[in-house]
Amino acid sequence: MAARVVPVEPFDLTVFGATGDLAKRKLLPALYHRMRAGQAPADSRIIGAARSDLNQESFRRMAEAALKEFVPAGDLDQRAVANLLAALDYVQVDAADPAGWPNLAKTLDGSTRVRAFYLSVAPDFFGQICERLQAADCLTPEARLVVEKPLGRDLDSAQSLNRRLASIFDERHVYRIDHYLGKETVQNLMALRFANALFEPLWNARHVDHVQITVAEQVGIGGRGAYYDQNGAMRDMMQNHLLQLLCLTAMEPPAAFEPKAVRDEKLKVLRSLKPIDGLTSVIRGQYRPTATEAGYKEDAGNPDSHTESFVALKAEVANWRWNGTPFYLRTGKRLRARMSEIAVVFKEAPHSIFPAESGWAPPNVLAIRLQPDEGITLSLTIKDPGPGGMRLREAPMDMTFAAAMGAKAGAMPDAYERLVMDVIRGDQTLFMRDDEVEAAWAWMDPVIHAAETASKPPAVYDSYSSGPEDALMLMHQDGRRWRDIEA
């Protein structure tokens, strides 16, 4: 069954960094899919902006090549491609140079449509680009700004970035993307919790033993070595994606599914996080070389690097709902498989009525899988079929969204499709507010500081493993174990 599509009004979207990786791999394909689905009107305008010496025609050729590379061949339809290309324009600008900006103003001039500026460039340019947009008279009172991580590298820099953006854009018009929040599964976590009466009564420390959030990648740091080595897993992943997933799992039911209510509840979770000891509750690691592949230090081009490619930590949400239920978070590169999930592990049944030979009834686990194959699995203990007496075994109740919706595997819309359309619709629910970003940094800062100033280097772990031994110990010492990292 095809999803119902509500078209948005025609818009003018300027993409800074339109010649870069994110634009080619994600934004142009996302716009293509939304236009093909009839949601983004064909008379919208997408204006690429970057320093490269391109014009409308050569930018269209670049975009066409990007679509061929990043849209599955079966989804490429000539008419839809032609529609997207016809919507494209290009303006050459340099954030560091005032020339070119009047051309952008001229290109946008006269239009009263929704006007959005997507800054798909390094964050060092965010402030400067906003200031140039204002100076060149490119802004309308309702103009929207879209920015993506990294949003600062600590609380101070995040505050100063927020202040700089706020001097030009009202917070109502700033869209801070965390693309994890645009994933269908993550939105389904909210549907699961707040549109069903089944789980919410159990969603608390009385019934939940602990929560595990894993974002595991199989790839190493690849060509991003220098950038990554300045940041590490704590800044690159933990401060944003994993804490956002924790917020959505732990938050109270908002009064309504609308931006202020949802973001207020997420903020309360961040502010309820107990300070943790960066040395005992946090495990950091670096991947080893294999016979054929370089290890972390070599990939980073820094033989003395103490930056972590893996981090695991135990967080506690100090409020009535979660007191006593820890949240274990881990993320890393070059791990056994690419797998992201939130696993809510319930407490064991208080008493077993079955004889010991029936076997152990493991706790129920609700696993919300973000990748691969977005879906939800609830593991239940059932009777092993057959006449062999009452033998218990674990069985999954599995719902892969693509299969449940009758779609082809891999046909779920990409997070950017949803998020870019939300920007145009003016819906900030799935975007981070300034105070949320700052609260996340306020909690992470001391953790990062403790790690960076510790004499202990990150533990080395085997490439394609589950991470360092110490991370296993973080759970074992609490009598728990991590779920397997498997695709």
Only segment of 13-21, 323-331, 398-406, 475-483 that touches ligand NAP (CB under 6 A): 13-21
Contact status: 51 vs ligand NAP (CB under 6 A): yes
- Does position 95 bind ligand NAP by CB under 6 A? yes
Q: Between residues 231 and 364, which has the closer beta carbon with respect to ligand NAP?
A: 231
- Rank residues 15 and 343 by Cβ distance to ligand NAP and give the closer one: 15
Binding segment toward ligand NAP, per CB under 6 A, in 33-41, 48-56, 60-68, 307-315: 48-56
Q: Which stretch binds ligand NAP (CB under 6 A): 18-26, 343-351, 413-421, 426-434?
A: 18-26
Residues 6+ apart with CB under 8 A from 163: none
If the CB atoms of residues 122 and 473 are measured against ligand NAP, the closer one turns out to be 122
**What is the C-alpha separation between 327 and 211, in angstroms, rounded?**
5
CA proximity to 177, closest of 475, 487, 436: 436
Runs of H (alpha helix) within 176-292: 184-194, 225-233, 243-250, 259-272
**Buried-exposed string 51-72: b where 16+ CB fall within 10 A, e elsewhere:** eeebeeeebbebbbebbeeebe
Minimum separation from the CB atom of position 124 to ligand NAP (A): 9
If one asks whether residue 413 binds ligand NAP (CB under 6 A), the answer comes out as no
Q: How far is 464 from 341, CA to CA, in rounded Å?
A: 18
- Can residue 343 be called a binding residue for ligand NAP (CB under 6 A)? no
Cβ of residue 24: shortest distance to ligand NAP, in angstroms? 8
Answer yes or no whether residue 183 interacts with ligand NAP by CB under 6 A.
no
The reply on whether position 285 binds ligand NAP by CB under 6 A is no
Least distance to ligand NAP from the beta carbon of 58, Å?
A: 12
Single out the residue of 46, 50, 130, 190 in contact with ligand NAP (rule: CB under 6 A).
Answer: 50
State the DSSP string of 240-270. IIIHHHHHHHHPPPPSSSSHHHHHHHHHHHH
Nearer to ligand NAP by Cβ, of 250 and 440: the residue is 440
> Is residue 329 classed as helix, strand or coil in its secondary structure?
strand
Q: Taking CB under 6 A as the rule, does residue 242 contact ligand NAP?
A: no
* Interface with ligand NAP: number of residues (CB under 6 A): 23
The torsion region of residue 280 among left (phi > 0), alpha (psi -120 to 50) and beta comes to: alpha
User: What part of residues 109-128 is at the interface with ligand NAP (CB under 6 A)?
Assistant: 120-123, 125
Q: Is 261 in the site for ligand NAP (CB under 6 A)?
A: no
Closest residue to ligand NAP, based on beta-carbon distance = 20
Instruction: Provide the 8-state DSSP code for 353.
Output: -
- Which residue's CB is nearer to ligand NAP, number 231 or number 463? 231
Based on CB atoms, which residue is closest to ligand NAP, 120 or 466?
Answer: 120
Output the CA torsion 110→113→119→124 (10° steps).
50
Catalogue the active-site residues. Answer: 241
Cα separation, 444 vs 458, in Å, equals 17
Closer CB to ligand NAP, 49 or 211, in the complex: 49
Choose between 151 and 312: whose C-beta lies nearer to ligand NAP.
151
Alpha helices in 55-183 (DSSP H): 56-70, 78-87, 101-108, 126-135, 155-166
Centroid of chain to Cα 221:
17
Does residue 375 bind ligand NAP (CB under 6 A)? no
Distance CA 151, CA 238 (A): 13
Whole-Å CA distances, 90 to 107, 234, 423: 9, 36, 21
Residue listed under structure tokens 């360092």: 468
Q: For residue 481, count other CB atoms closer than 10 A to its CB.
A: 11
Q: Measured from the CB of residue 15, what is the shortest distance to ligand NAP in angstroms?
A: 9
Q: In 4-77, where does DSSP find H-type helix?
A: 21-22, 28-36, 56-70
Q: Can you tell me which of 21, 156, 452, 478 binds ligand NAP, judged by CB under 6 A?
A: 21
Smallest distance, ligand NAP to C-beta of residue 62, A: 10
Tell me if 392 contacts ligand NAP by CB under 6 A.
no
| Residue 72 C-beta: closest distance to ligand NAP, Å | 18
Q: Does residue number 96 form part of the binding site for ligand NAP (CB under 6 A)?
A: yes
The bridge status of strand 392-400 relative to strand 45-50 is: unpaired
Which residues touch 110 (CB under 8 Å, ≥6 apart)? none
Q: How far is the CB of 123 from ligand NAP (least distance, A)?
A: 5
User: From the CB of 332, what's the least distance to ligand NAP, in Å?
Assistant: 17
Residue 52 binds to ligand NAP (criterion: CB under 6 A)? yes
CB 365, min distance to ligand NAP, A: 30
Residue placing its CB nearer to ligand NAP in the complex, 18 or 315? 18
User: Residues 140 to 159: which contact ligand NAP by CB under 6 A?
Assistant: 148-150
Sign of CA dihedral 71, 74, 80, 85: positive
Identify the DSSP state of 153: S
Residues that bind ligand NAP (CB under 6 A): 16-23, 50-52, 93-96, 120-123, 125, 148-150
